[in-house]
Structures are given as structure tokens and as C-alpha cells.
Copies of this chain bind each other. A is one copy, B any other.
């Protein structure tokens, strides 16, 4: 999970960490079990030199030239995010929409200068953090305008740390590991660990309302945001550092989730935590998935606030841990920097037992962190394994939602039905798994993974058909098109239907006001024509 190494232009993370050797053999073997008829031929990525990228259509002025790159690997590496469809298109050398320039500002005035230049010349500007979007959020897929990707990667410093209030002022371009490294020396942590942690940025988390690894409470970056600095085309917006305020609608909540269409977040004051000293955790097994769901709900409604409360269905349990369970497994974890957590941990286990939960002897680890650590390791390797499987024409992708507990049974049934029908029609069959990545007192955030054998050359179209089927199902059953993957360009058809119309009008009016030339990230959240002056 290091942020160093050679970034892969086509796939997840670094080339050094790609799946190889024994791990690759095991991953392919597992795929063969899931899809016995799959051919599983490896399709390596093309060389960047063979991509035949179009020439850049714009050249920066002399004053900005030193910030801008036209290096083909830079441009290819910034063309797509990191979804399955992004990776597969890269593997096919299908880069239809490539930024003309990749700009790397070092300071906020340089961000302003870049936006001003884009507005003056009719270029679009795409804010770019770690590039881990899985919804087409950083892809210059819009009208024929030239595109400048503004990569904040050089703005990666923790600028101030305030120990008394446990807050820090941090530049938006910092990636997860560098952020935590800089906080560690102060004994503090943001404790925001999305799966993309190693290759996603603070600014990206803020712009997409990211959800962290923790399953309850302090998981959304929204709640850890004390203040924001945002460069908009009409000026810098800076909110006050406040622990809470009732002065009008929250300015920060307008920019949180705005996905780069209203401005570029350059800095944030974030709320930190002391590093945990006490931990307890248990993995509970269940006889039925319904029991497991009820137990999970009981725990999250109890007010015990586990740091981790992650339910895996039987297929997900088997694929991730090799264990067979009739009803699935709930990974429970408690942690604290201040006090032992055994009392609350025991009560959570008791609540699970009330719903038929059992603790297999070998996974009972009160006081230790083994299941959490094991889960975390598999969790962080998943995107690399996904890439290896994508090369072998497997369709491997995820989708996620959230709904209230009362709606979950019907939503889950509709989604599994739609997915299985689509898998059968499109691929002849495949595997669908479900876990809850986050749970709230009023509902879970179910996260589904699809594994199916594809036809090389068609796996993007095959996936798109499956994705459409499940998106229709979840929208019809009260879900959200995204709990923590954002909207980008790919989720637009469903987001547009989910969003209240007056709010769409308000967002469009805001866009016109803050970005009158319609420079910023066209096509994301609202359509470019709506956002143009």
C-alpha cells in the first residue's frame, strides 16, 4: 500500500505491486473455479508508444509551460480513472478521450492561473487527485473542447497541525499514505481508509464525499471536514474553522460532493483522532443471511459504535477468507485511543448470539486484531487482482448503494435477481457477492461484486449491460445510485432521476454563478449546456 513506486498508466497502483507469480496462479485458479468454461488467456497492456495518441490541441502560455506535460505516458495515465471499464479500455488501447495537457500546479495561485487560462481559451479543466475514480469522474469525455487535467499531486503537504483541537490544515493533493506519515509524527491520524487509500487524495475524498474503511460513524470525510479552501473561477472560497455552526446552509456541504464542477479544493482543515491503543474484534458466523442482517442491524442500532461492522454474505466470505458459512460472516472490530473496549465488544457479540451468531474457535481474538488485519490485507490487494483478472477477460467489477433497513430485503432480492438474469444473458453465468461496507442505524450500504467470464473485446459492453440492469433495480427499490463511489459521468442517467428537480435547478444556478465559462469538469453531475453561461 505504498504510495511510491512506478505508477501503472493502465491499471491500479504501481507496476511493482502488480499480481505476479504464485499470487497470479492462485487468482487465475480461483477464476477457473468460478467460471469453469472461461478461456483465461492473458492480454497484456499495450506499450504507451503504440497508443497513437492524438496531438495536443493546445499549448500553454510561457508562464504556465513549466507546469504542463504532454508526455504520452502522463496523458495516457490521466485519460481514465480506475474502474473495470477504464482498465479494460486501457488494455485495448482504446483511449478516445485523452487530456491535451497534464498540469501540475505547486501553489494555489498557479491553480487560479490555470483556471483563468482555461476560461480565456475555451479549454475544459479536470481537477485530478489520485485518479482513482471508478465513475468516469476524471475522463475528458465531453464535447470537443481541449482538456487540461489539473493534477494536484505536487500540493501534498500537511501545512499546520493543531494538537489541542486535533486538527490539521492539509493540501488537497496529498495521497493517503503521505498524509498519515505526516500526521503520525504528531501522534494523530485522520483514520480515513477507503479501499483506494494508497492512490487517492484528500481533495478527491472531499470532492466525492468518500467513505472510509470504518463501518460506522466517523467514516464519511464530510464529518471530518472542519473547513475548506476552494479555488472557483470567480474567486477563492474559504470557510471558517468551526467545530459546528448554524449560520445558514453549510458552505462546506455545497463543495463536498461537487466532484470538481464548482471549484478546485486546494486545502482543508480536517478533524483528526489519536491513534488507537485498545482493540477488540470477533468474526461471527450465521446460519442464514437474514439472521446476519438482523444481527448487524441490532449492533448498529445499539449505540455500541464498532469501528468495524462489516457483513459478508456466504459467497463473499468464501472468496475472501476461504471459509464456508451458511449465512455469512460479520467482522466486528472495536478500537479506542482512550479506554479498553472489551465491555462493548462483548455486548456486540451477545447481540449477535441473540440472532444465532456463533464464534468459530479459531477466529475468536478478543484483544487482538487478526480478523481485521487479514481482511484489510485482502481488501487492499483486491484492485490489483481485479486488473489481473481483467487481463484474462474476466468481468470483475463492483457496484454499491445504500437503503433503509425496511427496504433492504426487497432491494437485495431485486438486485440479485437483475444481476443474475443479466449475468446469464450476457455471460452465461457468473458469481455475485454482497457485503455491507458501511452500516447506519437506519440502513446498510450494500456493496456487490460480480465475477463472470467475458468475451475478450466485449467485456466493457457486457459489464455495461449488467450495470444498467442492477442500477435500474436499485433505483426502483429505494436505493441511491452511489453510496461512496460518486456520480462522475457513468452514474449520470440514474443520478439525474434520483436528484430532486429543484435541487438540480439550484445546482445548475450555482454552477453558472461560480463557473460562468463552464470550464470545470464538464458533464459531471450536470450537463455542460446547463452549466454554460
Show the binding face of A for B, using Cβ within 8 Å: 162, 164-167, 208-211, 220, 222, 226, 230, 232, 234-251, 253-259, 262-263, 271, 273-274, 297, 301-305, 336-339, 343-344, 347, 351, 402-407, 438, 440-445, 478-487, 491, 495, 498-503, 505-510, 512-514, 525
Sampled A-B contacts (7; CB under 8 Å)? A165-B442, A236-B502, A246-B484, A247-B499, A253-B254, A509-B509, A509-B513
Q: Which 8 A-B residue pairings sit nearest by Cβ, starting from the closest?
A: A243-B443, A243-B440, A253-B253, A237-B502, A251-B503, A509-B513, A302-B338, A237-B500
Q: Which residues does chain B contribute within 8 Å of A259, judged by CB atoms?
A: 248
| Known A442-B166, A442-B243, A486-B246; contact A503-B237, beta-carbon cutoff 8 A | yes
Contacts of A232 in B (CB 8 A): 502
Partner of A166, one of B256, B274, B441, B495: B441
| Inter-chain contacts of A347 with B (CB < 8 A) | 338-339
Residue among A248, A258, A478 having the largest count of chain B Cβ atoms under 10 Å = A248
How far is B442's CA from A226's CA once the two chains are assembled, in angstroms?
Answer: 8
Assess whether B402 is in contact with A238, with CB atoms less than 8 Å apart.
no
**A302, B277: Cα distance in complex, Å:** 12
Residues of B within 8 A of A498 (CB): 240, 247
A274→B483 CA distance, assembly (Å): 26
Q: Are B235 and A502 in contact (CB under 8 A)?
A: yes
A249-B257, A405-B164 as given contacts; A502 in contact with B244, CB under 8 Å: no
Given the known inter-chain contacts A248-B258, A505-B234, please indicate yes or no for A243 contacting B403, CB distance below 8 A.
Answer: yes
Question: A495 contacts which chain B residues (CB < 8 A)?
Answer: 247-248
Say yes or no: A257-B250 contact (C-beta < 8 A), given A404-B165, A441-B271.
yes
Distance (Å) between the CB of A400 and the closest chain B CB?
9
- On whether the beta carbons of B500 and A238 are closer than 8 Å, the reply is yes
Q: A237-B502, A502-B237 are in contact. Are A244 and B406 (CB under 8 A)?
A: no
